[in-house]
Amino acid sequence: MPERLKHLSWRDLVFVALPSLLLAIGAFWLAAQFIKPAPPDQLILSTGGEGGAYQLFAARYKDVLARHEITLVDKPSAGSLENLQRLRDPAFAVDAAFIQGGTARPGEKDALVSLGDFYHEPLWIFVREAALRGGDKILDLKGKRVAIGGAGSGTHHLATELLAANGIDAKNTKLIAEGGLGLIERLQKNQIDAVFVVGPTQSSLVWSLLYTPGVRLMSLAHAEAYTRRFPYLAQLVLPRGAIDLTLEIPPRDIQLVSPMTTLLLREDTHPALIGLLMQVASEVHGEPGVFQKPGEFPRAGHSDFPQSKEATRYYTSGKPFLQRYMPFWAATLIDRMVVMLVPLLAVLFPLFKFAPQLYGWRVRSRIYRRYGELKFLENEVNENPGAHTRAEWLEKLDRIETDASQIRTPLTFSDMLYTLRVHIDLVRAIILRRTAA
């Protein structure tokens, strides 16, 4: 008896613990259905042509992402249009791509999201001074030899639209579908008369052309008119001397038009990776420049593509709370664990509260059962003591007492056993009093 009192009632414990364990496993499984796997350690980015701004920014992205143990894979392309084709092709391995505003329209089957406006990407029209003196209208390029960017590039798309708006096409002008640094030499050798370039001032081609002798930057006389006709364009002014005060480049204020550049991603890109990209974009594109103030970019955009929920959350609340104080990998790990633990705790908390009560009820129920037998026996003796002999009544009582002594009861409930034994003795006294020897 003392040995049995020292131990838990394992049968009752299993009866309570097994359903509780199954319930907890069920909650854990249910939570697992709503949690994404850990973010990948690699991001594939489709950029642009060699020496272009997209590749320049990709190199900076790579350095920042490396600090968070994410590897960026840069895949050069012809430009914005090819980038969009890659994103739409499920067989092509790519996560994100730079897209020039105005070059892409969402399709019915597109599962792409935008991260907002990242920076101005002005249209620069450089002309050979000897070929075009003083002309500031695109119409003045009619009949000239004009490089409009490689096929599939955003430059090619925008140049074609603006030239067409001025009645210029391949029938009346020699349009050369080429881009890249090789155009500088062709300008100097009088092989072409004008070059269309779309890109920020950091673009190697733009920067080189600004310093090329005999080449000038055209100021668009109809800049505002173009912004009305093409809503995705914004009017910009390149102030006199903004590039080089010493050499006074440009020598006067230049009117430009500019689309916005965004980053498009596939909709199934890991949310944590999108949040990290927003932080990278803020670091890379948030610096002051010729056309922007510090911290002006990135910003919520007006792209035809829907804006990512993670990007919207970033613009509203900034960097996620945990990532302000912890490394990216640790913050994402805790985020995932919280998603798993919340429903688990929601189940375990009531279990911890009610499981001991259920266990206690199981133990007490066996003692109550003996009380029921004892009460039934007492009633029989009081109602009809002659139904059995004293020895038979005592034999029934002894069986109840023997059964009660074999109940495996933890020490916490031992007081109930002692009370039961006292009550058994009370019933024994009733039997002795009510029956004949």
Instruction: Identify the bridge partners of residue 150 per DSSP, sorted by sequence position.
Output: none
The pLDDT value recorded for residue 28 is: 63
Helix (H) or strand (E) holding 42: strand 42-46
> Omega into 250 within 30° of 0, i.e. cis?
yes
Name the DSSP class of 356. H
List all residues 6 or more positions away from 366 whose beta carbon is below 8 Å from its beta carbon.
407, 409
The pLDDT value recorded for residue 16 is: 59
* CB of 234 closer than 8 Å to CB of 120: yes
Spatial separation of the C-alpha atoms in residues 127 and 124, rounded to whole Å: 10
The pLDDT value recorded for residue 3 is: 47
pLDDT digits (tens, 9 = 90+) for 207-224: 999 999 999 999 999 999
Q: What is the CA angle 347-352-356, rounded to 5?
A: 135
* CB of 284 closer than 8 Å to CB of 61: yes
Helix then strand then coil, % of the chain, to nearest 5: 50, 15, 35
Report the percent of the chain where pLDDT is more than 70: 87
The pLDDT value recorded for residue 164 is: 96
| CA-based nearest residue to 65, from 335, 267, 281 | 281
Strand 112-114 vs strand 260-266: parallel, antiparallel, or unpaired?
A: antiparallel
Residue type, 79: G
Q: What does each of the 437 residues of the chain score in pLDDT, given as a tens digit?
A: 444 444 445 555 565 567 767 766 676 666 655 666 678 899 999 999 887 889 999 999 999 999 999 999 999 998 999 999 999 999 999 999 999 999 888 887 889 999 999 999 999 999 999 888 878 899 999 999 999 999 888 999 999 999 999 999 999 999 999 988 999 999 999 999 999 999 998 889 999 999 999 999 999 999 999 999 999 999 999 999 999 999 999 999 999 999 999 999 999 998 889 999 999 999 999 999 999 999 999 999 878 899 999 999 999 988 887 787 788 777 776 676 676 666 666 666 776 777 677 777 777 887 888 888 889 988 988 888 888 888 888 898 888 888 888 777 777 777 888 888 888 889 888 888 888 76
Query: What domains sit in the chain, N to C, each tagged with a CATH number?
Result: 2-27+337-434 (no CATH), 122-258 (3.40.190.10)
Spatial separation of the C-alpha atoms in residues 416 and 435, rounded to whole Å: 28
Spatial separation of the C-alpha atoms in residues 118 and 104, rounded to whole Å: 16
The pLDDT value recorded for residue 9 is: 56
The pLDDT value recorded for residue 32 is: 57
The pLDDT value recorded for residue 389 is: 86
DSSP labels for 241-264? TSSBTTTTBSSS-EEEEE-EEEEE
The pLDDT value recorded for residue 107 is: 83
Helix (H) or strand (E) holding 228: helix 223-229
Task: Decide: helix, strand or coil at residue 298.
Answer: coil
